[in-house]
Amino acid sequence: DQQVKQNSPSLSVQEGRISILNCDYTNSMFDYFLWYKKYPAEGPTFLISISSIKDKNEDGRFTVFLNKSAKHLSLHIVPSQPGDSAVYFCAASDPNAGNMLTFGGGTRLMVKP
Amino acid sequence: ETGVTQSPTHLIKTRGQQVTLRCSSQSGHNTVSWYQQALGQGPQFIFQYYREEENGRGNFPPRFSGLQFPNYSSELNVNALELDDSALYLCASSFSSGLSYEQYFGPGTRLTVT
């Protein structure tokens, strides 16, 4: 039973355009959501997060949107750059489970020059 | 500021053997979590240690055990290795003061069981 799902295993975008990565969850107890980026041979790197009391959080080129009623979040990258090419994981935290992170399966983003 | 480090980088073991993986937390962090990442999947939570005690556990059997030391470094031990234990093992540290969300990951240990 996957509580966090990323239904697109890969996404290809042209440099300068918008990248939209999607994530769906089923556990309504999740109260905090995070996006991590992972390059090969490195551990995941924290990118941006959002609390369940908000619907948007922006940090430079990265914006995360949360739709609680749909149990859906998305990460927008504008403009996309070749250096953004990596695997992106969304993760969710359940305060009733010691704030352990539940990860989605990841989406591989390829930004073409 | 020193980041999260893990050792060894790669490891090959035989089915039935035991393995110990090590993790040094980022400076100032007192909580360590371990994750298993199988090929093509997202990391799966194994357990978390806070102040040297297990503070939460995922759906992993008891042959997965851990320790946290006074300096907040940590070990993951796996007994009776199985082929399915082949994966990237990630350690993540954070500072917990009741709420802790942003975890900082090490580069991982790639374990291959043959």
Listed range (A19-33, A55-69, B21-35) with the worst mean pLDDT: B21-35
Interface check B31 vs A, CB under 8 A: no
Residue with more model confidence, A10 or B31: A10
In degrees, rounded to 5, the angle at the alpha carbon of residue B90 between the alpha carbons of residues B39 and B17 is 80
> Do you find a cis peptide bond into B8, omega within 30 degrees of 0?
yes
**CB A106 to CB B41 under 8 A?**
yes
Has residue B98 got a pLDDT over 50? Answer: no
Which carries the bigger pLDDT value, residue B48 or residue A110? A110
Three-class DSSP category at A58:
strand
User: A39 is written with which tokens?
Assistant: 């390059």
Interchain CB contacts (distance < 8 Å): A and B = 60
| Mean pLDDT of the region B91-110 | 80
Position B102 scores a pLDDT of 78
Task: Kindly state the average pLDDT of the residues A47-65.
Answer: 96
Does position B97 have pLDDT exceeding 60, yes or no?
no
CB contact B4 to A (< 8 Å) = yes
- Substitution target in A42, A87, A101, A102 with the highest count of B β-carbons within 10 Å is A101
CA pair distance A16, B78, nearest whole angstrom: 46
CB contacts, 8 Å: A45 with chain B: 105
Residue A106 has pLDDT above 70, yes or no: yes
